[in-house]
Amino acid sequence: MALIGQGSLILALLLAVYAVGAALFAASGRDRRFLASARHALWGILLLVGVADTVFLHAIFTHDFSFRVVASSTSLTLPTGYLFTAWWGSQAGSLLLWATILAAFTLIAVRGTRRALGELQPWLIAILGTIAAFFLLLLVVPANPFITQVAAADGVGLNPSLQNPYMAIHPPALYLGYVGLAIPFALAMAAMLANRGDARWVVASRRWTLVAWGFLGIGMLLGSHWAYTEVGWGGFWAWDPVENAALMPWLVATAFLHSVMVQERKGMLKVWNITLVAGAFALSIFGTFLTRSGILSSIHAFVASDIGWYFIVALAVIIGGPFALILWRLPILRADQRIESLASREATFLFNNLLLVGIAFAVLWGVLFPLLSDAIGSVRQTVSSPFYDFFVVAFGIPLLLLMGIGPLIAWRRASLRQIRRSFLWPALGGLVVGSVMIVGGLHSSWPGVAAGSVCAFTTVTIVSEFVRGAAARRRIHGERWGIALLRLIGRNRRRYGGYIVHLGVIVFVIGAIGSSAYQTSAEGLLLKGQSLTVGSNVLTFEGVERVRGANYTERAAVLRVTSDGENLGVLRPGRRAYVREQTTSNEVAIRTTLTGGDLFVILDGIRSDGAVQIKAFYKPVVALLWLAGFIFVGGVLLAVWPDEREARRILRRYTEEPLPGES
């Protein structure tokens, strides 16, 4: 079987190289047969990578420990559900997943742009084929999933923290995001290579960016929930480099999704948009490099790593290539218009871009600094939460404010009178909430009050956008409120989908501030019958319970929860010992209240006399974080949903039949 898997990957690599060559030959020799052949090669790559996936999964599910990767990431006792997640539990497996998604996305992108972006096709295939060849080369040489050994009796098992249902969807969601960003990158590069300065590539890449960005966002939220429920330290975001690896391309892609509107409407920011698309993809490769090269554990691990230098070369090409292309095509990338006024929607988008890229740079520096200090000096310096928190507060609050200001200001310019009129209610909303926070004693910090006020300002703005739009439809078309609102959203999906995403961001911010700034905690060593109070909840220790799972044994503290004398049930925080993996993990116990707060309990240890060390938190409104995820997904789906009328309009613009004598 290993021969089939390995042979398929080698053949896929050869096909990727052929696809690149055939596409370039088609572009230079104007031979359409080679273009068709290159497209067939893409199908071949997908088929062969699919065969490799099948062989790999077959080896995992049949416990074929003659495959080194299977032996190092699974075991006989690993539950069947987690055998599937073992696909991306290893370096080789995760790179195979990368290659699979890329092969599928490449075909969809190439087929989807054949009609409207005909002359870009060879370049698109050449660029995506090169990226595919890079990942296939990694799989054939340094990260081969089909290396065999003398079969062991059992494998060493999967990292216990990965044995969580979230691991079935969190990594694939992130990979869909990382890989998805390759398509806008390839479209932008193809447009420049084909000497196309028009907005067609922008229109084609908008939806791809939105999809990739949506997956990255979902992936990060799922990762946060996994960290919250599985890692067991009581938080949802630790500014870990692996988390930052996904956040950076997401931030840059967010900037692109805003600035792309300026290019579509005003013909401005062409160079900037190409830079953002290239930056987002470079950061997605950088993220993969961070998580897969071993550089996070130490610079020495990176030097010893098999794949680190491949990624360094790839990053140099991904950063240097677009830079050279932009310089080459500068004459066709000049802006058609200029920003007329700072009080205009395009100006707010520009400020929003600067802030988003600013946060991305701060996070990048926070990730790079320890690596550089490790490489230059002998001691690795660390960058901790206060560094990131400072930039998130300093740049994030103005960003939230711009989310509210943008919709209130018209394109091109806004008069002072109009600004006064538009800002009145949102500003009042912000003032009222800020005052209530101060008077009500909820001002844990001034940035917290500012964030609360700005959230209120922006919420009022967004709600009023829906109300004003529906009211206008009622006035013009005489529709009822419900119909007017539905048609307003249905006919402007991108705009109102964006507003819904903004609402999701606000809900997330409120959840993040509320659950961290207003949390209460308690810690104590409890003997049987003793209690610990956290907030209004009393936890009474009733004893230790033993549970045996498929591949672990767990000892859990049984804690009765009461509040004002009312019995609220039992919580069982535990510690699991994984036999095969020879590690332990914390299993936190969480009780979500009707008001969206969580009683979060960690078992820190069990003494020989039966006493348990308990740490408990009450985190108000933490459920808003996860609610924000649903709102975010709803907004993204609405924005990305195909709009037939717009698609027809765009197709007509870019595919008008050639005139006589021109074909």
Partner 1 sequence: MLGVLVLGALVVGVVVYVAWPLVRPASAADRLDPLSEAQRRRLALREERDLALAALKELEVDHATHHIGDQDYAELVAEYRGRAAEAMRTLDDEVRAAE
Question: Segment 22-61, which members bind partner 1 (CB under 8 A)?
Answer: 26-27, 30-37, 39-41, 43-44, 47-48, 51
Q: If we measure between CA atoms, which residue out of 515, 424, 497 comes closest to residue 461?
A: 424
Give the x/- contact pattern for partner 1 in 591-630, rule: CB under 8 A: ----------------------------------------
Of 410, 486, 606, 633, the residue at the interface with partner 1 (CB under 8 A) is 410
Backbone angles phi, psi at 333, to 5 degrees: -105, 10
Using CB under 8 A, which residues numbered 337 to 356 contact partner 1?
none
**Rule CB under 8 A: which of 515-544 touch partner 1?**
none
Amino acid at 635: G
Please work out the total of residues on this chain that contact partner 1, with binding judged by CB under 8 A. 72
C-beta of 34 vs 250, nearer to partner 1: 34
| Least distance CB 591 / partner 1 (angstroms) | 45
What would the DSSP string read from start to end of 483-539?
HHHHHHHHHTHHHHHHHHHHHHHHHHHHHHHHHHHT-EEEEEEE-TT-EEEETTEEE
Interface residues for partner 1 in 199-258 (CB under 8 A)? 199
CB of 577 to partner 1, least distance (A): 40
Task: With contacts defined by CB under 8 A, name the span among 263-271, 351-359, 526-534, 554-562 that binds partner 1.
Answer: 263-271
Q: Which of 257, 222, 201, 552 is nearest to 403 (CA)?
A: 257
In the complex, the smallest distance separating the C-beta of residue 641 from partner 1, rounded to whole angstroms, is 19
Identify the residue among 150, 153, 379, 476 touching partner 1 (CB under 8 A): 476
User: Helix-strand-coil percent breakdown of the chain, rounded to 5?
Assistant: 65, 10, 25
261-264: Cβ within 8 A, 24+ apart: 261/349, 262/346, 262/349, 262/350, 263/199, 263/202, 264/199, 264/202, 264/203, 264/206
Residue 266 binds to partner 1 (criterion: CB under 8 A): yes
| Choices 291-299, 376-384, 410-418, 536-544 (CB under 8 A): range interacting with partner 1 | 410-418
From residue 621, how far is each of 597, 599, 617, 624, 645 by CA, in Å? 5, 11, 13, 6, 41
Which residue type is seen at 206? R
From the CB of 237, what's the least distance to partner 1, in Å?
Answer: 36
Q: Are strands 566-571 and 552-563 parallel, antiparallel or unpaired?
A: antiparallel
Query: 3-class DSSP state for residue 143?
Result: coil
Of 480-509, binders to partner 1 (CB under 8 A) are: 492
Give kind and range of the element (H or E) at residue 110: helix 91-112
Query: Among residues 196 and 380, whose Cβ is nearest to partner 1?
Result: 196
At its nearest, how many Å lie between partner 1 and the CB of residue 121? 7
Are residues 46 and 125 in contact, defined by beta-carbon separation less than 8 angstroms? no
The region of 91-99, 192-200, 538-546, 589-597 touching partner 1 under the rule CB under 8 A is: 192-200
Positions in 106-135 near partner 1 (CB under 8 A) = 114-115, 118-119, 121-122
Smallest distance, partner 1 to C-beta of residue 343, A:
11
The smaller minimum CB distance to partner 1, of residues 118 and 370, is found at 118
Residue 441 vs 661, nearer CB to partner 1: 661
- The DSSP line for 285-333 is HHHHHHHHSSTTT-HHHHHH-SSHHHHHHHHHHHHHHHHHHHHHTGGGG
Nearer of residues 324 and 651 to partner 1, judged by Cβ: 651
58, 413, 443, 572: residue in contact with partner 1 (rule CB under 8 A):
413
Least distance from partner 1 to the Cβ atom of residue 469, Å: 6
If the CB atoms of residues 229 and 458 are measured against partner 1, the closer one turns out to be 458
262 touches partner 1 by CB under 8 A: no
Least spacing, CB of residue 465 vs partner 1, in Å: 7
Among 16, 18, 170, 177, binds partner 1 (CB under 8 A): 18
Choosing from 111, 300, 334, 475, the residue that interacts with partner 1 (CB under 8 A) is: 475
State the DSSP code for 406: G
Closest by CA to 187, choosing from 104, 131, 113, is: 113
Residue 408 contacts partner 1 per CB under 8 A: yes
- The answer to whether 490 touches 644, Cβ cutoff 8 Å, is no
**Does an H or E element contain 599, and which?**
strand 598-606
Cβ nearer to partner 1, comparing 48 with 505? 48
Find the binding residues for partner 1 in span 415-474 (CB under 8 A). 415, 417-418, 421-422, 465, 468-469, 471-472
Task: Give the CA diameter of the chain.
Answer: 94
Among residues 178 and 201, whose Cβ is nearest to partner 1? 201
Task: State the Cα–Cα distance between residues 251 and 451, nearest whole angstrom.
Answer: 19
If the CB atoms of residues 174 and 402 are measured against partner 1, the closer one turns out to be 402
Figure out which of the listed residues 58, 63, 196, 487 binds partner 1, where binding follows CB under 8 A.
196
State phi, psi for 549 to the nearest 5 degrees.
Answer: -100, -175
Residue 50, phi then psi, degrees to nearest 5: -60, -40
The two structure tokens encoding residue 575: 């510690």
What are the b/e assignments for 642-653, b being 16+ CB within 10 Å? ebeeeeeebeee
What is the rounded distance in angstroms from the CA atom of residue 5 to the CA atom of residue 2? Answer: 5
Q: Which residue lies nearer to partner 1 by CB, 477 or 480?
A: 477
The Cα–Cα gap between 405 and 441 comes to 28
Residue 154 or residue 643: which is nearer to partner 1 going by CB?
Answer: 643
Rule CB under 8 A: which of 623-662 touch partner 1?
A: 649, 653-654, 656, 658-662
The minimum distance between CB 593 and partner 1, in angstroms, equals 39
End-to-end CA distance of the chain: 51
